[in-house]
Structure 1
């Protein structure tokens, strides 16, 4: 007889779980519909920095002149920035000598760029700094802005 009450208690436990779960199942079917709204997918980074910021070469050459004079190192620095209207913001630099990163970010923030009507555009480009060359001592020959192919801009 002791075995029988155990079976009954098991059945009662299963029955209690079923009864307790019934309101939850009913509540789940009566949930309100939720509508999700989001922004469209982010545009790929732009690589035509010279088109939007026509004086980029001269501006970065002037902004990096002191750092290049002090460091004299060669390097390639990947630059990414956001343009909102005519305001440059969220400047990031990656790669190259550390001595150039802060002056480069300051120079990019100070660039004059045209507003083409699209908000929050991302731009990617490379700045190549060449070592001092005896044949050419001109600063404009030491700093080169290279626009990335679109396929490489996505990968960076």
Structure 2
């Protein structure tokens, strides 16, 4: 059973399962995050949905690059959680299955290519309180507790 964070699913709502990959990216005591500005600023672990016929690791590399501009190496899966949300950009009620990876940011190739995103570095302890969802905060806290 994958631990649930956030809202309890509504009994009157159908949810589409949406698997995704997200990265904890520590470097020199800092953690690389992304901030999505629309509709309001939301600090997140870089990552997102796995496209149809896409494997998780290539999806992780693609999503981190799109949202931060960084290449990563040595991703290692550290856990997963699920959350039930409405995704207005897709007009979709989703059960998000969030696979969390620990990886090493190795090279910044430029600014994020995904509109409305910016990359920022933050101490892991501070990140664990500012991240926009409880699952991200949980895994960030585990990382900062191990540092």
Q: TM-score, normalised by structure 2?
A: 0.27
Q: Which has the higher helix share?
A: 1
The structure whose Rg is larger is 1
TM-score of the aligned structures, taking structure 1 as reference length? 0.25
Higher strand proportion: 2
